[in-house]
Amino acid sequence: MRNHGYNVEFDTTKFFDDEVKRWTKNLPPSQKLQVFRLAKQARDHAFNKKYGTYNYQNDYRLECPNWNTQFLSKIREYKSCLTNCKVLAVGSNNGSELFQIFNGFNDIEFDVVEISKTAVKNGKELFPRINFFCQSMDSFEPKHNYYDIYLNLRAAYCAGNDLDVIVKKAYKSLKPYGIVIFSISNGYIDLSNGSRTIIKGIYNPSTKECSNVETQKNLDWVQAAILNSGFESVEIFDVGSEILLISCKK
């Protein structure tokens, strides 16, 4: 169990597999195989339940209409020409956020890694020119020195993945002077009681509250992982709906 501000039980593939192995180590091989098969079915169901569809009704991006243009402007400060760029987007659900950010850039090559089979199926129907890979972000092995941009938006810190492994893979996947962007959620819209209330911060399951304290803890955690993986510096930039952490591979 990794601690990044509060205790979180991983739903990462490695953690899940390790737990199944621990609980089945004394079973006969035939029973062990059956348990692994059932556990995989349960995990796939859980991931589809959690990530298969996304409810934008409580997405803070709805209250930040310029988040995508600010996002793109920041990218172009690092990479002014996006012609024929190769983009790896990890944990990007059905690819809708890429359409919102890069709409109009039809010659960009997109690869999306998403753990939900349902989200991948929907994405292939919505955006046939995007290449989808149905895998967890910490088990996916990207091509080395291949991508110009690596995106991991509001995903790595909240799904209990092995962040150090993910960032190291991001570094290796980028060409020299390629850029990596992680983002941390800046809040959500509370729809309870028939109203729309903006709640700032990140949810802490221990206190069952959102707070900017958790936001800062996650920013520190992601920034440290980036700096420990070969990147020299990190720029932090607020686009309203989320906070970006940006670095360039030298």
Return the pLDDT at 159: 53
CA distance 195 to 189: 9
Indicate if 67 and 118 belong to the same structural domain: yes
Any domain includes 7: no
Exposed, middle or buried by CB within 10 Å (0-12, 13-18, 19+), for 240?
middle
Indicate if 70 and 124 belong to the same structural domain: yes
Indicate if 175 and 217 belong to the same structural domain: yes
Any domain includes 115: yes
Any domain includes 1: no
What tens digit of pLDDT does each residue of 96-149 get? 999 999 998 999 999 999 988 999 999 999 999 999 999 988 889 999 999 999
Indicate if 95 and 174 belong to the same structural domain: yes
What is the band of 32 on the pLDDT scale with cuts at 50, 70, 90?
Answer: confident
CA distance 219 to 149: 20
Indicate if 222 and 239 belong to the same structural domain: yes
Any domain includes 4: no
CA distance 220 to 243: 12
Any domain includes 219: yes
Q: Model-level pTM?
A: 0.81
- Torsion sign (Cα): 200, 201, 206, 207: negative
Any domain includes 160: yes
CA distance 138 to 237: 25
Ranges 32-36, 180-184, 215-219: which has the least confidence: 32-36
Indicate if 119 and 27 belong to the same structural domain: no
Q: What single-letter DSSP state applies at residue 143?
A: P
Closest C-alpha to 165, from 12, 16, 4, 19: 12
Q: What is the CATH number of the domain that holds 87?
A: 3.40.50.150
Strand partners, 198: 189
Indicate if 39 and 156 belong to the same structural domain: no
Indicate if 222 and 242 belong to the same structural domain: yes
Residue type, 19: E
Any domain includes 152: yes
Which structural domain, as residue segments, surrounds residue 19?
13-51
Residue 9 has pLDDT above 70, yes or no: no
Q: How many domains is the chain partitioned into structurally?
A: 2
Return the pLDDT at 13: 55
Indicate if 39 and 71 belong to the same structural domain: no
What tens digit of pLDDT does each residue of 225-241 get? 999 999 999 999 999 99
Indicate if 133 and 207 belong to the same structural domain: yes
Exposed, middle or buried by CB within 10 Å (0-12, 13-18, 19+), for 38?
exposed
What tens digit of pLDDT does each residue of 163-182 get? 899 999 999 999 999 999 99
Any domain includes 204: yes
Indicate if 30 and 136 belong to the same structural domain: no
The alpha-carbon radius of gyration of the chain (Å, integer) is 19
Indicate if 20 and 61 belong to the same structural domain: no
Q: ∠248-72-62 over CA atoms, to 5°?
A: 125
